[in-house]
């Protein structure tokens, strides 16, 4: 029995561990970046924080709702709801990360009253719901994969440009690498789903890449917030 078989046979345990780890990482990132935002009032940090609020919700809600179908008389309905909720929050996290790099083009320097409830994010919410519905109607994940790949192509290009222009090379280099890893993860997701029909090795590989991404984001945030206290 190889490593992949062991993991797959105990997948519920590993799902719980993965969800707990991601939930904690997102909690610490939101907490740290919220403190940094209050100190600096930098709107990009505000939307970066929101991205990890959505990521945390996505993985926690997927696990909680995913367990509910075991005790339900309508497991198919619960499965569809779980997938829809997970997709919605993942897409919103992608929008938030990209917007954290673009906010200066659309907002005044002082920002706006609410970062979650405003006209631009209302459009994002509607787009996310539309993508979820399209995936549900066509019984696919391709609409989500497509929008995430597009979002992270732009985010990668912008973060690389920021890295080239800024003096704060260390954090922005890490930020660029993590965004690039996100792009690679979504392309891998798409390939595993469409070409390899969710092969066990591919799925486990995606989980590992995702965990590395969250750990690197946490590392970067901890470093930045630590320096801000000095």
CA distance 230 to 215: 23
Give the chain's domains with CATH numbers.
Answer: 3-229 (1.20.1070)
Q: Given this model, what pLDDT does residue 39 score?
A: 83
Q: Phi-psi category of 25—alpha, beta or left, where left has phi over 0 and alpha has psi -120 to 50? A: alpha
Angle at 153 between CA 220 and CA 104, to 5 degrees: 65
- DSSP calls for 42-106: -HHHHHHHHHHHHHHHHHHHHHHHHHHGGG-S-HHHHHHHHHHHHHHHHHHHHHHHHHHHHGGGT
Looking at the predicted structure, is the pLDDT value of residue 89 above 60? Answer: yes
pLDDT per position as a tens digit, 102-130: 998 888 776 777 889 889 999 999 999 99
pTM to 2 decimal places: 0.92
Q: Given this model, what pLDDT does residue 107 score?
A: 81
Q: H helices within 166-199, ranges in order?
A: 169-194
Looking at the predicted structure, is the pLDDT value of residue 230 above 50? Answer: no
| C-alpha R_g of the chain | 18
The pLDDT > 90 percentage for the chain reads 59
pLDDT per position as a tens digit, 118-162: 899 999 999 999 999 999 999 999 999 999 999 999 999 999 998
Q: Token pair of 172, please?
A: 């922005």
In this predicted structure, which of 51-60, 67-76, 81-90, 207-216 has the lowest mean pLDDT? 67-76
């Amino acid at each position: 029995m190889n490593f992949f078989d062991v993991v797959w046979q105990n997948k519920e345990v590993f799902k719980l561990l993965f969800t707990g780890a991601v939930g904690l990482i997102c909690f610490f990132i939101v907490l740290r970046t919220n403190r940094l935002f209050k100190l600096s009032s930098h709107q990009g940090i505000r939307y970066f924080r929101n991205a990890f609020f959505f990521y945390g919700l996505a993985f926690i809600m997927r696990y909680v709702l995913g367990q509910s179908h075991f005790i339900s008389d309508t497991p198919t309905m619960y499965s569809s709801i779980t997938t829809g909720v997970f997709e919605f929050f993942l897409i919103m996290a992608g929008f938030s990360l990209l917007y954290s790099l673009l906010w200066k083009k659309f907002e005044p320097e002082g920002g706006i009253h609410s970062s979650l409830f405003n006209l631009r994010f209302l459009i994002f919410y509607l787009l996310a719901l539309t993508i979820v519905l399209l995936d549900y109607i066509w019984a696919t994940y391709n609409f989500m994969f497509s929008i995430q790949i597009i979002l992270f192509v732009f985010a990668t290009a912008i973060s690389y440009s920021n890295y080239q222009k800024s003096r704060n090379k260390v954090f922005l280099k890490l930020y660029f690498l993590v965004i690039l890893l996100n792009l690679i993860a979504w392309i891998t997701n798409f390939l595993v789903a469409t070409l390899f029909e969710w092969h066990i090795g591919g799925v486990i590989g995606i989980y590992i890449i995702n965990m590395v991404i969250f750990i690197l984001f946490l590392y970067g945030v901890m470093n930045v917030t630590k320096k801000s206290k000095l």
